[in-house]
Amino acid sequence: MSLSNISAQVSLYPLRPEHLNSTINDAISLWQQRGLSVWPGAMSTIIAGDPQVVWDALRDALALATDRCETVMVVTLSNACPLPASS
């Protein structure tokens, strides 16, 4: 990863939603549509790309979730952590 890119490990927790997985899946789709590299996991998702795109996509994913229900989003940002191997 170049120093001009950042990665974020994101855990999104919709609270008491009607459909839990749809909010998380829609956030993942949003990140993919923005052209970010996306690695979904069981408890968090790693996204990586241009810093401005990452920041904007994080903001928009939080807005998407909070429009549906109360939400907690935990984010760890890095310009140095290794990315998962591509599958």
pLDDT one-digit tens code per residue, 2-44: 568 999 999 999 998 877 789 999 999 999 999 999 999 999 9
pLDDT at 87 > cutoff 70: no
Task: Write the pLDDT tens digit of every residue in 42-77.
Answer: 999 999 999 999 999 999 999 999 999 999 999 999
Q: Are 14 and 23 in contact (CB under 8 A)?
A: yes
Give the domain ranges of the chain.
Answer: 16-78
Helix 51-68 crosses helix 20-33 at what angle (to 10 degrees)? 160
* pLDDT at residue 86 in the model: 72
* pLDDT at residue 41 in the model: 96
